[in-house]
Structure 1
Amino acid sequence: MTITPALTPATSVAVEGPASDEPSALGGVADWAVGMMETIGAPGAGLAIALENLFPPLPSEIILPLAGFTASQGNFSIAAALFWTTLGSVVGALALYGLGAWLGRDRTRRLVAKVPLVDLEDVDKVEAWFGRHGNKAVFFGRMIPLFRSLISIPAGIERMSLWTFTALTTAGSLIWNTIFIVAGYYLGESWHIVEEYAGVFQKIVIVAVVVAAVWFVTSKVRSARRKRAALDNA
């Protein structure tokens, strides 16, 4: 899939998808993001990233390189792009942190207890793991597709220090945003190359998640069968 932005005489960015009867979903997201940036400048990039945190299907791997490309055309500075997108990342993460804090530990345990194949022992293990590695999970999680948004919820549930959470989220988001914005800035109209490589990384993460989920379900089913067999033989 190739998307080629072209600079119009009014220094605006037009994003075109591949020629077809069906509109390109990728082109639609890119057009929407560019429209935000052209309308309100760098704060538009920040708003787009804040929404990306709340709605993970909106890909930061498209929005951030486009922000860099738009900055390269003089619509706003690269420093402004970095500031507003990082602020958007933090605002979106804090909203999900608040959701986790609202759910709380007791309510979460009650909800999880109703989920098939999941035991409260599993919740205890996750809580213990987060207690040991929560800081690293929040920091590095901001640089992993899918987990970028989701990691904020357990941080809220476990009531991680708000200052610590904000600092780690800011640092991790700034690194992630800088990589993509600077790449988009220097690649110019070839900004979509960044998205293509990021897409490979995202697919690897998705495959890893699917494999982990299959392993979890399989181990739970086998454990349940062993328990039933033990009861039948008793």
Structure 2
Amino acid sequence: MSQWITEWIPQVMNQLGYGGISLLMFLENLFPPIPSELIMPLAGFAVAQGKLELFPAIVAGIIGTILGAYPWYYIGKWVSEERLEQLADRYGKWIGLDAKDIHKSNVWFGRYGHQSVFFGRLVPGIRTIVSLPAGVNAMGLISFTLYSLGGISLWVTFLASAGYKLGDHYELVEQYLGPVSKIVLVSIVAILVLLIVRKQLRRRA
């Protein structure tokens, strides 16, 4: 991670408080290299120091994240998948995306439907781009918002609470999140497969 990002995030949060949390989480959704895995644990650390309150910090994070999800949703709605993949290959390196990421996210959505928006919000690397296939596949805005809010709320609450518990070691959240994320991803896929199998069995019955 670039040093300027790790220095800039605390500065914005210190100067703008809850508004800074929302702004940072909004930008994190537009530019994936800005990590929520550092933003919200740092907010939790600020709570532990008595600078902020936990619930408003979580709400601020949720608001910023959901607002940051809408631009990607509408891009997916207005731009074809083929064109998105071309743009990702040409310019995606600036935000850490490529055509394969776009294709995988669309396959994920096609396989698991609306549930992928909820569960995708819990997995780093998928959290941001899951908004694109939702738009490409014309998922209703209300459904998109509700499914997103469910997953976002869990993710933001987890990160902020972890930062609060770890105190000045909040940066360890990002360090240990990788292995945990893999377990979460495997669990999510297993749950979605189970839901699909149950649905197919009910149809046959």
Q: 1:130 aligns with which of 109, 112, 117?
A: 109
Q: String of CA shifts for 1:85-106, please: whole Å, max 9, x gaps.
A: 0011101111110111111xxx
Residue identity in the other structure for 1:34: P
Of structures 1 and 2, the one with the larger relative CO (CA 8 A, separation 6+) is 2
Secondary structure of 1:149's counterpart equals coil
Once the 2 structures are TM-superposed, how far is the Cα of residue 110 of structure 1 from its aligned partner?
6.3
> Which residue is equivalent to 2:174?
195
Asked if residue 74 in structure 1 is aligned to residue 50 in structure 2, the reply is yes
Q: 2:81 aligns with which of 108, 112, 119?
A: 108
Once the 2 structures are TM-superposed, how far is the Cα of residue 130 of structure 1 from its aligned partner?
3.2
Residue identity in the other structure for 1:39: Q
Is the alpha carbon distance of 1:194 and 1:108 closer, same or farther for their aligned partners in structure 2, counting shifts above 3 Å? closer
Q: String of CA shifts for 1:62-83, please: whole Å, max 9, x gaps.
A: 1110010012212221111100
TM-score (norm 1): 0.65
Task: Tell me, yes or no, if the aligned pair for 1:67 and 1:81 is still in contact at 8 Å.
Answer: yes
Once the 2 structures are TM-superposed, how far is the Cα of residue 28 of structure 1 from its aligned partner?
3.1
> Which residue is equivalent to 1:178?
157
CA distance in 2, matches of 1:148, 1:111: 17
CA distance in 1, matches of 2:84, 2:51: 47
Is the alpha carbon distance of 1:112 and 1:174 closer, same or farther for their aligned partners in structure 2, counting shifts above 3 Å? closer
Secondary structure of 1:43's counterpart equals helix
> Which residue is equivalent to 1:28?
4
Q: String of CA shifts for 1:175-221, please: whole Å, max 9, x gaps.
A: 0111110010121111122111014456x59xx9xxxxxxxxxxxxx
> Which residue is equivalent to 1:90?
66
Task: Tell me, yes or no, if the aligned pair for 1:139 and 1:169 is still in contact at 8 Å.
Answer: yes
Is the alpha carbon distance of 1:184 and 1:161 closer, same or farther for their aligned partners in structure 2, counting shifts above 3 Å? same
Residue identity in the other structure for 1:179: F
Task: Tell me, yes or no, if the aligned pair for 1:30 and 1:63 is still in contact at 8 Å.
Answer: no
CA distance in 2, matches of 1:145, 1:112: 20
Quick one: percent identity of the two aligned structures? 38
More deviation, 144-153/30-39: 30-39
Displaced runs of 4 or more, over 4 A: 109-113
Asked if residue 168 in structure 1 is aligned to residue 144 in structure 2, the reply is no
* Gapped regions of structure 2 (runs ≥ 5): 90-98, 187-205
* Gapped regions of structure 1 (runs ≥ 5): 1-23, 209-234
CA distance in 2, matches of 1:112, 1:171: 28
CA distance in 2, matches of 1:77, 1:158: 39
Larger radius of gyration: 1
Structure showing the higher helix proportion among its residues: 2
More deviation, 132-141/51-60: 132-141
Task: Tell me, yes or no, if the aligned pair for 1:30 and 1:66 is still in contact at 8 Å.
Answer: no
Residue identity in the other structure for 1:196: Q
CA distance in 1, matches of 2:30, 2:161: 24
CA distance in 1, matches of 2:135, 2:84: 16
Q: String of CA shifts for 1:29-56, please: whole Å, max 9, x gaps.
A: 2321111111110110111111111111
RMSD: 2.6
Residue identity in the other structure for 1:137: S
